[in-house]
Structure 1
Amino acid sequence: MSADLRIIINKTLSFIGLAAFLSLMMGLIFIDVVWMNNAVHEASFTECAQEIMLGLMALLFFWRAWRSPAERSMMVLAGGFFCCMLIREMDFLFDEWRHGSWFWFALAVALSCLAIALRKPATLISGLAAFMRHPAWNMMTAGMITILVFSRLFGMHELWQHLMLDGYNRTVKNMAEEGSELLGYSLCLFATFSYLWQRAGHAVEQEDRSASTIRLARTSSAR
């Protein structure tokens, strides 16, 4: 009964936490549109929040790759994926140097991470399978589909132009598209936290069991 109650409490708290976080993200869109005079662009609070979440996810996966050599292949691949997405989101900075140069930076990161991940293909496959078995994968999938598919289709220029006719306002389209992306990134961030928290806890349990085994072995040998 206590285990069931703990599950109910944890899931309820997760729901409340995600709801509060999404409300905060919606507040950023409100600030951009209402307080910042329809400023949904590269330097908006909405865009900055997306970039911060992407950077945080990349750093978390890279940190886990450094901390856990057994999971390094999969973690480096995931970190590289989000790092490439961050570079793409910040293409306006790379365009200051040369238009379209973001692609070459993203390609360099992708090839480097692939080279590291493919050094141990067996651990890469097992790591990906472990991630896909975890409940966090479902939320990660929902987030990625929202970012890569839904937001692109929902933000189509033709759709909003047809809807608003002569009163077409690009800010409305941008708000819808960027808001959808913000939702997707939020889901991916929560999925990342959920998975890496569980993996870290699992690693601690393994270390405790190993330490207990060593202590028992030393006690037995002393006798």
Structure 2
Amino acid sequence: MNKNTNAWQAIFGAGARFFLICAGFSLIAGIVMFDILVLGNDIPEQSATEISQELFLLISSLCFFRLAAKHASSRGAYVLIASFFLCMLIRELDAFFDEIQHGFWKYPAWLIALGAIVFARVKAPGSTLNALNDFSRTAQFNTLCYGMAVVLVFSRLMGMGDFWQGALGDNYVRIVKNVVEEGLELFGYGLLMFGSISYSRQVSAK
């Protein structure tokens, strides 16, 4: 196989990845559109968008729990990452936990976080620091960072009520703010899921 053939294969592979990314982003936009155009809602807690956010977080968490089960040398790091995503999932389910007591989600989240730290320290010593360092050098780590930044920063800033009231004036309706904020959150969670799946496949292929 000559160098030109290898080059064409690499180019076609890159093109296929691009179209796959486009398809994933289209799916994310389609979920938000489904809520608005088909279900006719304003993206409440029980909506396709919110449920998809929770599903993306669950998949991300399971990817790292699966790696933790298979790779003892990095188990502590993977448990911490998986538990972090699990805590985010619990936070997204705050409306469900509010049925018990307002703000109750904090208790299971703290319990999981503390349990993960103790596990990494006691049950998986020596499998955290170096593994986290190696993970931070991967392309997937950058994807997860972008996803976290979209969820925790960009979506919050773009979802500020004062911003949309100033932009729309007398035409302000809350659904516009909700669509932008929740849509960006879903996009961020999508990045987290794609990065987690990609990293899981990369590690499993070694």
Pair in the same fold by TM > 0.5: yes
Residue identity opposite 2:84 in structure 1: F
> SS state of the match for residue 123, structure 1?
coil
Does the 8 Å contact 1:18/1:190 carry over to 2? no
Matches of residues 57-206 of structure 1 in structure 2 within 5 Å? Answer: 57-119=60-122, 120=124, 122-202=126-206
> SS state of the match for residue 100, structure 1?
coil
Does the 8 Å contact 2:155/2:181 carry over to 1? yes
Structure 2 CA distance for aligned equivalents of residues 8 and 185 of structure 1: 28
Count, aligned residues: 202
Identity rate, percent: 38
Q: Which has the higher contact order (CA 8 A, sep 6+)?
A: 2
> SS state of the match for residue 128, structure 2?
helix
TM-score by length of 2: 0.93
Offset of 1:178 from its aligned partner? Answer: 0.6
Matches of residues 14-25 of structure 1 in structure 2 within 5 Å? Answer: 14-25=17-28
Structure 2 CA distance for aligned equivalents of residues 110 and 12 of structure 1: 40
- Please name the residue that 1:32 is paired with: 35
Structure 2: tracts of 5 or more residues without a match: none
* Cα RMSD for the two superposed structures: 1.4
Instruction: Name the CA shift for 1:5/1:75 in 2 (closer, same or farther; >3 Å).
Output: farther
> SS state of the match for residue 131, structure 1?
helix
- Please name the residue that 1:46 is paired with: 49
Structure 1: tracts of 5 or more residues without a match: 203-223
Does the 8 Å contact 1:57/1:82 carry over to 2? yes
